[in-house]
């Protein structure tokens, strides 16, 4: 438990967090990416606040994208997998 207590009031620092909040982790595989695509582009397009990881397959000799990528996102309150998928379709 990494919670700390306020010395003056004795209140826990966790009181402002919703510990029982439900979240979802989604893992998307994306294809048909252009050669100049980077993992940062996947993060920007997703529009999500918490990207766990984003990778793009690259040709080691040429240093260009092979056309495939993968992104893992943790969805918080107000975010949905359908909204993230819609961002990629746009």
Q: Fold for 23-89, please state it.
A: Alpha-Beta Plaits (3.30.70)
Counting residues of the chain whose pLDDT is more than 90, the rounded percentage is: 61
Helix (H, G, I), strand (E, B) or coil at 24: strand
Counting residues of the chain whose pLDDT is more than 70, the rounded percentage is: 87
What rounded mean pLDDT belongs to the chain?
Answer: 87
Q: For residue 15, is pLDDT > 60?
A: yes
pLDDT value for 21: 66
């Amino acid at each position: 438990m990494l919670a700390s207590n306020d010395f003056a009031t004795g209140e826990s620092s966790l009181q402002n967090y919703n510990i029982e909040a439900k979240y979802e982790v989604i893992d998307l595989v994306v294809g048909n990416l252009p050669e100049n695509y980077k993992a940062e582009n996947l993060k920007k397009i997703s529009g999500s606040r918490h990207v766990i990881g984003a990778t793009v397959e690259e040709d080691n000799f040429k240093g260009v994208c092979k056309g495939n990528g993968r992104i893992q996102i943790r969805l918080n309150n107000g975010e949905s997998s359908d909204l993230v998928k819609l961002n990629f379709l746009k």
